[in-house]
Amino acid sequence: METLRGVGVSHGVAIGEVRHMGTAVLEPPAKQIPAEDAGREQGRAHKAVEAVAADLIARGNLAGGEAQGVLEAQAMMAQDPELMADVERRIAVGSTAERAVYDAFAAYRALLANAGEYLAGRVADLDDVRNRIVARLLGVPMPGVPDSDEPYVLIARDLAPADTALLDPTLVLGFVTEEGGPTSHSAILARALGVPAVVATPGASELAEGTLIAVDGSTGEIFVEPSAEKRSQLESAAAQRKEALTASSGPGATSDGHKVPLLANVGGPADVLAAVAAGAEGVGLFRTEFLFLDDSKQAPSEEKQVEAYRKVLEAFPEGRVVVRVLDAGADKPLDFLTPADEPNPALGVRGLRSLLDHPDVLRTQLTALAKAAEGMPVYLEVMAPMVADRTDARAFADACRAAGLQAKFGAMVEIPSAALRARSILQEVEFLSLGTNDLAQYTFAADRQVGAVSRLQDPWQPALLDLVAMSAEAARAEGKSCGVCGEAASDPLLACVLTGLGVTSLSMGAASIPYVRAMLAKYTFAQCERAAAAARASDTAEEARVAAQTVLSGE
């Protein structure tokens, strides 16, 4: 029995036959067209682009939640004016519409990669948009999820968000990709769907169609042609986990009663039902980008924002809702807010920096939040993304006060400088929230979307745990809270370690909450502290994981 190893990104076990993702669009032939045909070809290109953009938006509306924002961002990518201008230029000198699109996207892809642009990490998104436009122009079926009447395990080199968002969990038992990373869009959406998934798996695309495999989304292992005994073991383990989940309910806490509130990450009102059903004690990360991606040319009105925010606040009466103000820039550019010519947007005007450059946008959002919370018993907290130092934190707190916001003001720790100077930042704000996805990216200079560096994106990296501990210790010293809202919180074993490091709340995709609740309930706070110390004393992510497991299992 062969075993492949990748990065487990969504809990559960899936056993089924392999089905491969639809074949990618073939490269169109390079043939010249007469000059008089240029206008017609340009028209074809525009129609194909608009049709693909409309399809992506429709898929987003159908999927809702986090998926909607992701797909709307892809639609914006399809309609990028610079890309379309390049397509038109190529057609004007003799290319067909499909060849012009193919070459323009290839040039854009290479340009971003050579410039070190953060968007280069969105290769799956970019390629998917290109393939959809070219397929429409060629009149061939869109690349995508295979048709099947029987449940299967989906195998792909990578999965675009447009495909992941609309996976049918009754047919797709799980999925495995050869590329991608643990914090990629597809990984995040897989967790939201509750579909077992493993990414960054060398050799996955070589598995033959129809091969029986077992996928363990917790360990990252893929067993090829597993024996009956192995299948029985995996199914038994899955049944035990399900039983533990069913038995676990109520607020998050260790076995000796140390409280660890378990909150939900939500991308908009559509995610609220799943969060409530999972028993979330509130919202630890309300991403507000979904509102702003509807129209990249202008910010949504105050009235529209008030309506959207109130829907989420109403779902958690007397609960805690932590709202992150707009995090634009890098992979989420907005025409009205972010510069178009930054050489490296991930290290440029992103997050709070963008908002401080456009105080009217920040003021409108804060005012809308204040109005949405009026007369409601909810505990509203508002935090800023990409806070680098005390100056940033003070500027954000001042803006909140000026808007009349009756809420706690906080700062996200996503930049190593914020962890190193956490106590200084806490002189200006009332809480910290660790965004472990970006914190890992900036700590290790490892793009969170690139599978080749997924080792450095592993939240078990001891250096990352050191920064978490440093932030938690600073918060404890100041008598304030320090939560984690990055994907690290969705790992049940790591949740115990984070608790032991002093983190005061954990926020994750709704599907992960029962797993984390059940795991925390098995151990005392002292055991979590010992596991955390053992993990920090390790030198690699794998050693840290094993060390923590050894402590908790009593070996």
Cα–Cα dist 306/302, whole Å:
6
Place of tokens 């390049």: 86
Buried b / exposed e along 473-502 (16+ C-beta atoms within 10 A): ebbeebebbbbbbbbbbbbbbbbbbbbbbb
The alpha carbon dihedral of 195, 276, 486, 128 has a sign of positive
In angstroms, rounded to a whole number, what is the distance separating the alpha carbons of residues 452 and 470?
28
Q: First vs last Cα of the chain: how many Å apart?
A: 28
Tell me the C-alpha distance between 109 and 70, whole Å: 19
Looking at residue 256, its amino acid is D
Q: One of 11, 358, 482, 485 is an active-site residue; which one? A: 485
- Beta-sheet strands, E only, within 99-226: 152-156, 172-177, 197-199, 212-216, 221-224
DSSP string across 52-92: HHHHHHHHHHHH-HHHHHHHHHHHHHHT-HHHHHHHHHHHH
- 61: tokens are 């509306």
Residue 528 annotated among the catalytic residues of the structure: no
Alpha-carbon Rg for the chain, nearest whole angstrom, is 23
Q: Which residues of 194-215 are buried (b: 16+ CB within 10 A; e: fewer)?
A: bbbbbbbbeebbebeeebebbb
Whether the Cβ atoms of residue 404 and residue 423 lie closer than 8 Å to each other = no
Find residue 432's DSSP bridge partners.
411, 482
CA 250, distance to chain mean position in Å, is 26
**Do 91 and 28 form a contact (C-beta atoms < 8 A)?**
no
Q: What are the DSSP E strand ranges found in 151-291?
A: 152-156, 172-177, 197-199, 212-216, 221-224, 262-266, 282-287
Cβ-proximal residues to 131 (8 Å cutoff; 6+ apart), any chain:
24, 25, 142, 143
What would the two tokens of residue 26 be? Answer: 């073939």
The whole-angstrom separation of Cα 547 and Cα 326 is 38
The sign of the CA dihedral 240, 242, 248, 253 is positive
Number of Cα atoms under 13 Å in the Cβ half of residue 200: 23
Q: Strand, helix or coil at 523?
A: coil
The continuous run of DSSP H or E covering 384 comes out as strand 379-384
Structure tokens at 493: 């074993």
Q: CA 514 to CA 245: how far, in whole Å? A: 6
Residue 185 appears among annotated catalytic residues:
yes
3-state secondary structure of 45: helix
- Looking at 11, 185, 496, 528, which residue is catalytic? 185
Rounded CA-CA distance 152/212 in Å is 9
SS3 content of the chain, % helix, strand, coil (to 5): 50, 15, 35
Catalytic residues: 185, 485
